[in-house]
Amino acid sequence: MHLTDQEKKMLDGSYGEPVKKAMQIMVALGEGYGAEKMLKVKNVHMPGASIVVAGEAGTAFVEEMEAKGGSFVAMTTTNPSCIDPERWREMDIKEKDYEIQSRLTEAYAKMGALTCGTCTPYFIGNIPRRGEHLSWGESSAVAFSNSVLGARTNREGGPTALAAALTGRVPAYGLHLDENRAGEALFKVTAKLKDITDYGSLGYYVGKKIDNGIPVFEGIPQSATWDELKMLGASLASSGAVALFHVVGVTPEAPSLDEAFQGKKDYPVIEVDDDALEEAVELLNKEKSKDVHWVVLGCPHLSINEIQEIVSRIEGKKVHPDVTLWLLTSRPVKAYAERMGYDKVLYEAGGSFICETCPVLSTTDSTAEAKGFTSLATNSAKLAHYAPGQFGIMSFYGDLGRCIEAAVTSKWR
């Protein structure tokens, strides 16, 4: 592949050992995918920010890069870590895991990352422009940035995102290229989409059908919000491996059906009706008892609008003594919630915020064991999908109203 003089210098070690190693990773990746050149990136979202993903070996590697003088040349935000640094004891995180996680976060910070620990960096100011090349990891954030913002990234893993942050380069392949961004199947949505949970169910159903393809949606209203599209992308990326979707008349690369498919005509057409959404709900409701121990809202991390809706529904109610209610979000969004007084309403009801982490990226098996959780209720298709396999907890899945009712009664109805 063609490298510029500067990229060749990165590769020969002129910029130091970490950049050399990072450029070797980028070149190997580019050659593996047949890339002809590198693209400059100024924006990275780091997926390997939790020790659950990075492990001790990954933590040691990031520390080594930092100790050898590694410094990020692209603006870098971090995905959730394993802990809420202010509430890790209440989460029953083991001291040893807290220490390793703190080392990993500190190493990223020393290299220049904004260690915000959120999967919705676009709610706190990391909003790439349309057409901008990125190196983002975290499947829900990748789907959002490609589809809703019209930026361009492949689904990066920890090592490749780290290499991009150190070099400011990614190989030009996959979703960076126009020709790989055309829709591959049309989903005509006739189902009624009443709330964000329906968007999650829609994504879950379609993700199973299309796997890692590029779905085009017709029939989603123009009034669809970021929260709704966030939920759609997160679930598309959980039952499938979708990194890009188009919504005709809504997302930037799909002003028309023809543009969404880049002029192609021979695509399959699949209808998605109310029964399809119900099928997704059935699949995700894995828990067979009626007893709820834990209600988790905020996968992906909540926006201020979602928090406002949750507190308005819980105001004046009390969380059942047998239930723990967590709202997952980023620290800046929590600060907005405090400014609005939403925190007081939540605490009065008996719920709490957990920031900078989530059950999928935490050591939740030990948290659940310590707290006696055997079931979880959520309005997130992604969390309901991962909970049984990732930390052995069966899930109840339903809309926000059902989740709040479960928090108050400890029963799933």
Binding positions for ligand F3S, rule: CB under 6 A? 79-80, 119, 138, 140, 234, 299-301, 328, 358, 360-361, 382-383
Which residues, including other chains, have CB under 8 Å from residue 194's CB and lie 6 or more apart? 399
Nearest to ligand F3S of 140, 410 (CB atom) = 140
Both tokens of residue 267?
């695509």
Task: Kindly state the smallest distance separating residue 357's Cβ from ligand F3S, in Å.
Answer: 8
End-to-end CA distance of the chain: 58
Nearest to ligand F3S of 30, 233 (CB atom) = 233
Nearest to ligand F3S of 62, 354 (CB atom) = 354
Which residues, including other chains, have CB under 8 Å from residue 89's CB and lie 6 or more apart? none
Nearest to ligand F3S of 293, 301 (CB atom) = 301
Task: Kindly state the smallest distance separating residue 78's Cβ from ligand F3S, in Å.
Answer: 11
Task: Kindly state the smallest distance separating residue 1's Cβ from ligand F3S, in Å.
Answer: 32
DSSP string, 364-378: HHHHHHHHT--EEEE
Task: Kindly state the smallest distance separating residue 156's Cβ from ligand F3S, in Å.
Answer: 14
Task: Kindly state the smallest distance separating residue 231's Cβ from ligand F3S, in Å.
Answer: 10
CA angle (156 as vertex; 205, 203 as ends), nearest 5: 10
Sign of the CA dihedral 113, 117, 122, 123? negative
Nearest to ligand F3S of 79, 154 (CB atom) = 79
Distance between CA atoms of residues 320 and 292, nearest Å: 10
Sign of the CA dihedral 164, 167, 172, 176? positive
Task: Kindly state the smallest distance separating residue 341's Cβ from ligand F3S, in Å.
Answer: 25
Nearest to ligand F3S of 161, 383 (CB atom) = 383
Sign of the CA dihedral 337, 340, 341, 342? negative
